[in-house]
Amino acid sequence: TQLLEQSPQFLSIQEGENLTVYCNSSSVFSSLQWYRQEPGEGPVLLVTVVTGGEVKKLKRLTFQFGDARKDSSLHITAAQPGDTGLYLCAGQAAGNKLTFGGGTRVLVKP
């Protein structure tokens, strides 16, 4: 069974601060996806990273895939209250299997 561990589990910061969420595994994935989930809704895809060492930017969000394709990080610059939510990483193995991490709950206080 492939496991994905996210850290920290919970993060509370003030508006304007930076934050980083980590997603680690001992397994290699063909790609890694990041989702954000808000209360009462399903997860929404933010980005997919495919190549080892790949860095993708989405406005104030920066996603990195580890060189060995076993880990990933999400960095938010100058966080805003609208960034509040549950952030989930998910690793895609060959075929259909998608394994989710336990999630990081982010609270950005105004």
Partner 1 sequence: EAQVTQNPRYLITVTGKKLTVTCSQNMNHEYMSWYRQDPGLGLRQIYYSMNVEVTDKGDVPEGYKVSRKEKRNFPLILESPSPNQTSLYFCASRMRTDNYGYTFGSGTRLTVV
By CB under 8 A, is residue 102 in contact with partner 1?
Answer: yes
By CB under 8 A, is residue 103 in contact with partner 1?
Answer: yes
> Which one-letter DSSP state was computed for residue 59?
T
Q: Show the site string, 59-98: x = touches partner 1 by CB under 8 A, - = not.
A: -----------------------------x-x-x-xxxxx
Q: Is residue 17 within 8 Å of residue 70, measured between CB atoms?
A: no
| Buried/exposed 90-99: b ≥16 CB within 10 Å, e otherwise | bbbeeeeeeb
Q: Which of 19, 21, 23, 33 binds partner 1 (CB under 8 A)?
A: 33
